[in-house]
Chain A
Amino acid sequence: MTLAAHASLRATRPGPASAFAELDDSHVVQAFLDGQSRAFDELVARYQARLLNFIYRTIGDRERAEDLVQEVFIRIYRHLHRFDQTKKFSTWAYTIASNLAKNELRNRSRNPLVLFQAIKKHWEADHRPLQFEDSSSRPDDMFRKRHLRALVEQSVEQLPEHHRVVFVLRELEGKTYEEIAEITGCNLGTVKSRLNRARNSFATIIAPHLD
């Protein structure tokens, strides 16, 4: 790729109007490998938000999640020529994201930090920043909704790392068991077993708060 190609990469912002919007992932990947640098913008546009949410739900830190999404795209860019195109691009991208998220959690367990998000969760209601909500909702509904959101987020964070990744991939990303097995590098039996444990733990944590 030339510097002129880089200039085109600079000039284009990823968006749905891209010429590649109609193509599936494998064709976009092929277009990029054929020298059309703008195809990479399309891949970024397709996956940036999904990967950010996946990593954020796994590690619970938005800023760091964004850094890791950048790292995912850098790795994709570096190694796309080695990507086995008989496989799904999304699975490969999630595998990279999952590995980075796991590394992050491992590093964090070695060097524990108190995250701002963790502090924020325990703020008293009066000390929380002002939040605007849908004014059409009734106050008790709003309270329940907010309470439930906080509760499910906490419940996911309480899951052990290897259960959490599988749980998020299944419940939030809608991945199949086979895809999860490929992303996490586990066999199908392990995925099923981890998912069952994760679901049991999640329901057990959340149940007392819903009564």
Chain B
Amino acid sequence: MDCCEFREQYSDFADRLLDEEAELRARRHLKLCAPCRRFDAAFRTGVSALRDLPSVELSRSFGDRLRGRLGHELVVRALAVDPFSGAVAAMLVMVTIGLVTWDLVELRAARRAAAAAAVSVPAAVWIPAPAQIRLDTVENFHSGFHPFDPVLLVADTNPTQDTNPPRFDVPAVWGGR
């Protein structure tokens, strides 16, 4: 066996996987070849030192961090995998969307009502001009009629023949009579 062959078969030699004859040849070569002996010694010393290296310790926060992440996984799984929880979650989402929509509709209606109330102006009412009442007559004076009495406002005259300008009634809420 030469050095090349020895190194080609070195892995099997180190793991004792060579058959009996090949192993004998390899051992014989090792006895005779100083570089291969040094190579073999370097490998064994190195691996031994590697196995003696202090093992790396986990940090103190490792367990807590892992538990936190696993907890997150549980929630995700509950929502995504479990059909019942998924359905419940879907229903919750739909209910939430429904409530928000209902709220918006209500809000819009309330706004519309408020806007309508703010600009509420009573419709114009045609009030015919009061009949000409002469206060200088004794009958009228003593009858107790007053020209601004509301009774006068309903006094009917024919609007087509009336030359006086129309008047608009003033609602009581405005402070008028």
Q: Do A and B come from one complex?
A: yes
What is the interface of chain A, defined by CB distance below 8 A to chain B?
1, 3, 5-6, 9-10, 13-14, 40, 44, 48-49, 52-53, 56, 62, 65-66, 69-70, 73-74, 77-78, 148-149, 151-153, 155-156, 171-172, 192, 195-196, 199-200, 202-204, 206-207, 210-211
Whole-angstrom distance between the alpha carbons of A152 and B38 in the complex?
16
Contacts of A171 in B (CB 8 A): 47, 50-51
Q: How many A-B residue pairs have CB under 8 A?
A: 106
> Do B14 and A6 have beta carbons less than 8 Å apart?
no
Whole-angstrom distance between the alpha carbons of A62 and B70 in the complex?
22
Whole-angstrom distance between the alpha carbons of A79 and B56 in the complex?
27
With beta carbons under 8 angstroms apart, the residue of B14, B49, B51 that contacts A199 is B14
Contacts of B78 in A (CB 8 A): 1, 3
> Do B43 and A70 have beta carbons less than 8 Å apart?
no
> Do A152 and B73 have beta carbons less than 8 Å apart?
no
Nearest B-chain residue to A45, judged by Cβ: B63
Whole-angstrom distance between the alpha carbons of A74 and B74 in the complex?
11
B135 interface residue (CB < 8 Å to A)? no
Contacts of A200 in B (CB 8 A): 7, 10
B69 interface residue (CB < 8 Å to A)? yes
Nearest B-chain residue to A62, judged by Cβ: B56
Least Cβ–Cβ distance between B91 and chain A, in angstroms:
19
> Do B73 and A204 have beta carbons less than 8 Å apart?
no
Contacts of A62 in B (CB 8 A): 56
Contacts of B66 in A (CB 8 A): 44, 70, 73
> Do B10 and A199 have beta carbons less than 8 Å apart?
yes
Given contacts A10-B67, A200-B10, A211-B38, contact A66 B46 (CB under 8 A): no
Contacts of A48 in B (CB 8 A): 58, 62
B11 interface residue (CB < 8 Å to A)? yes
Contacts of B47 in A (CB 8 A): 171, 202
Least Cβ–Cβ distance between B36 and chain A, in angstroms:
10
B92 interface residue (CB < 8 Å to A)? no
Segment 103-118 of B: residues with Cβ below 8 Å from A: none
Contacts of B28 in A (CB 8 A): none
Given contacts A9-B67, A203-B43, contact A152 B74 (CB under 8 A): no
Nearest A-chain residue to B56, judged by Cβ: A56
B159 interface residue (CB < 8 Å to A)? no
With beta carbons under 8 angstroms apart, the residue of A9, A10, A149, A199 that contacts B53 is A149
Whole-angstrom distance between the alpha carbons of A44 and B66 in the complex?
10
Nearest A-chain residue to B82, judged by Cβ: A1
Contacts of A5 in B (CB 8 A): 74
Whole-angstrom distance between the alpha carbons of A157 and B176 in the complex?
100
Contacts of B45 in A (CB 8 A): 148, 206, 210
> Do A78 and B73 have beta carbons less than 8 Å apart?
yes
Least Cβ–Cβ distance between A169 and chain B, in angstroms:
13
With beta carbons under 8 angstroms apart, the residue of B11, B41, B65 that contacts A196 is B11
Whole-angstrom distance between the alpha carbons of A138 and B71 in the complex?
50
> Do A9 and B70 have beta carbons less than 8 Å apart?
yes
Nearest B-chain residue to A144, judged by Cβ: B49
Given A74-B70, A204-B42, A206-B45, 11 other A-B residues pairs in contact with their CB atoms under 8 A: A1-B77, A6-B70, A9-B70, A48-B58, A49-B55, A53-B56, A66-B62, A77-B73, A78-B73, A199-B11, A210-B46
> Do A172 and B51 have beta carbons less than 8 Å apart?
yes
B8 interface residue (CB < 8 Å to A)? yes
Least Cβ–Cβ distance between A191 and chain B, in angstroms:
10
